[in-house]
Amino acid sequence: MGDKLSIPFKLAKIEEKQFSVFEEYLESDSPVQEKIGVGFGGGVEDRIIAASIDYQLLKDKHPFIHIRVACYFEIEPKAFKEKLHTEEVIKLPVELARHLANITVGTARGILFSNTQNTPFSQYPMRLINLQRILKEDVYIDLE
């Protein structure tokens, strides 16, 4: 199993795709609900795997915090060719997908902390996210 996970990579880029806060919904006494989305994309030429997190906190079905972050990981050439890439898809073993998603979640958590510091929104940090409940099987990125 150790060999299966030995896929060297480096973090190549971080993008804050969206950050929004809505004070008008912050005052509501309604319970806070959470909406989480995790996604992946990839490129063969540059051996990049993108992992993204879309995180929203809502009250009365209205988001009052919304952040979307993508992290781009460059995979070592030999590992990409031998372990991930086929002609039609990039296959991410679930353990690797969870690892890349976890790095992205931590990055988003830090961006959220930084962006809400010294504001009323700082009392709503991103909680820990159990990616084992979200990512249960290998991820296939279609190249067509």
Task: Please write the tens of the pLDDT for every residue from 90-110.
Answer: 999 999 999 999 999 999 999
Mean pLDDT of 124-134: 93
- How far, in Å, CA of 88 to CA of 57, rounded? 37
Q: Tell me how far apart the alpha carbons of residues 58 and 56 are, in angstroms, rounded to a whole number.
A: 6
Helix (H) or strand (E) holding 11: strand 9-21
- Residue 53 CA to residue 68 CA, distance in Å, equals 6
Query: pLDDT for 112-122, tens place per residue?
Result: 999 999 999 99
The C-alpha angle with vertex 44 and arms to 42 and 48, in degrees rounded to 5, equals 45
Predicted local confidence at residue 6, as pLDDT = 86
- 86 pLDDT band (50/70/90 cuts)? confident
Given a cut of 90, is residue 25 above it in pLDDT?
Answer: no
CA–CA gap between residue 97 and residue 114 (Å, rounded): 26
Model confidence, pTM: 0.91
Question: Is pLDDT at 15 greater than 90 in this prediction?
Answer: yes
Decide yes or no: CATH 1.10.540.10 for domain 6-142. Answer: no
The band of 5, judged by pLDDT with boundaries at 50, 70 and 90, is low
What is the CA 103 to chain-centroid distance, rounded? 7
For 61-75, letters b (16+ CB in 10 Å) and e give eebbbbbbbbbbbbb
The average pLDDT across 16-35 equals 92
